[in-house]
Amino acid sequence: MNESMIRLTVLAVTVLIGFLTAAVAGRIFVPLLHKLKFGQTIRDIGPAWHKNKQGTPTMGGVIFVIGLLVAVLAAVAVCEATLPMKPVSGVTPVERVRLFAGLLMALCCGLIGFADDYIKVVKKRNLGLTATQKIVLQLVVATGYAAVMYWLGGGSEMYIPFVGMVDIGWWFVPLCIFFVVGFPNATNLTDGVDGLCGSISVAASLCLMVAASMTAHFGQSLLAAAFAGALAGFLVWNLHPARVFMGDTGSLLIGGMLCALAFGVGHPLLLLPVGIVYIAETLSVILQVGYFKLTHGKRLFKMSPLHHHFELSGWSENKIVTVFCIVTVVFGGAALLFVW
């Protein structure tokens, strides 16, 4: 078996390990969350029929975090011990920094979400962390990651389509902070329909896995494979009708992980096409609020974020998930044509 086939096999097995671990973890954690009464409180601002989901366990993002970590550790251990391609000891210090700094940053985003969920479900404060608390914590994480990537991770270079690798100097830091703060909040807004955020994030992760493979970042491709598999395992419990919600624990971690993968391979602009759905969801909220204020009460959409507009237009939750996934695959696949 040649090296390319070995790499492909390792990636496929890593996806499978992530999937099985998360799916099994769900069998343990979903009943546990029920027992602890960690149920989601459905706010009145969404569609009325979402009230039927009241009490569904939240904080389920823990399920795919477990799948991610188990799959990554297993894949790295096997590769380091038995295979010629070694994602840790066989790469440059810069590559190691990018890999571990990205994983740590994503986990910190998940911890912020966990704190938010904990306050909501245990302390019974439905709004969780205040907006100020959340943004300050996100800025701390983003600034730390940007600094590490800039000074230790060779981060001032990034790929620009039709131009090539460009050294953007210190501008890298604010760009990185912008993405690492903005993207988790965008994925958080997208988590409003059963299976939506998880499904499009599987597609996005697989696109980034391919990008990592094309650019010879084997460690990043393993990380993406583990994440895609873990998310798919979580969807066993999260597809409509959802038996558990990911909560901010999961949605914020997803945004952080996608940033980690894109910056890890030196292609942060991939987040724009790969994350087109998250961006559209965020823009729909911004446009709705702005239009409402400018017109003194008129609405541009039936409801925002965008998935609620389609719900109120008669689309089923499964149709929304399917269409939004197709959009992600099309835009993400097209973006891969410009990865070199």
> Residue ranges per domain, the chain?
3-336
**pLDDT for the residue numbered 100:** 97
Tell me the pLDDT tens digit for each residue of 59-70.
Answer: 999 999 999 999
Question: Residue 48 above 60 pLDDT?
Answer: no
SS3 166: strand
- The C-alpha atoms of residue 115 and residue 92 are separated, in whole angstroms, by 35
From 246, 244, 165, select the one nearest 200 (Cα to Cα): 246
Question: Residue 186 above 60 pLDDT?
Answer: yes
Q: Which residue has the higher pLDDT, 126 or 166?
A: 166
**pLDDT for the residue numbered 308:** 95
The average pLDDT across 117-146 equals 89
C-alpha of 215 from chain center: 21
From 222, 8, 242, 23, select the one nearest 103 (Cα to Cα): 222
Question: Residue 338 above 90 pLDDT?
Answer: no
Choose the weakest-confidence range: 47-51, 94-98, 183-187, 203-207: 47-51
How confident is residue 336, by pLDDT bands cut at 50, 70 and 90? very high
- Identify the burial level of 49 via C-beta atoms within 10 angstroms of its C-beta, where 0-12 means exposed, 13-18 middle and 19 or more buried: exposed
- The C-alpha atoms of residue 234 and residue 52 are separated, in whole angstroms, by 21
The average pLDDT across 134-144 equals 97
Question: Residue 43 above 70 pLDDT?
Answer: no
- Overall pTM > 0.85: yes
SS3 245: coil
The average pLDDT across 33-38 equals 83
The average pLDDT across 255-259 equals 98
Cis peptide preceding 184, ω within 30 of 0: no
**pLDDT for the residue numbered 45:** 58
**pLDDT for the residue numbered 300:** 94
How confident is residue 52, by pLDDT bands cut at 50, 70 and 90? low
Q: Which residue has the higher pLDDT, 280 or 1?
A: 280
The average pLDDT across 286-298 equals 94
Question: Residue 47 above 80 pLDDT?
Answer: no
How confident is residue 188, by pLDDT bands cut at 50, 70 and 90? very high
**pLDDT for the residue numbered 185:** 97
- The C-alpha atoms of residue 282 and residue 288 are separated, in whole angstroms, by 10
The average pLDDT across 248-274 equals 97
Give the containing element (helix H, strand E) for 323: helix 317-336
The average pLDDT across 199-219 equals 97
**pLDDT for the residue numbered 139:** 98
The average confidence (pLDDT) of the chain is 93
**pLDDT for the residue numbered 170:** 93
**pLDDT for the residue numbered 161:** 85
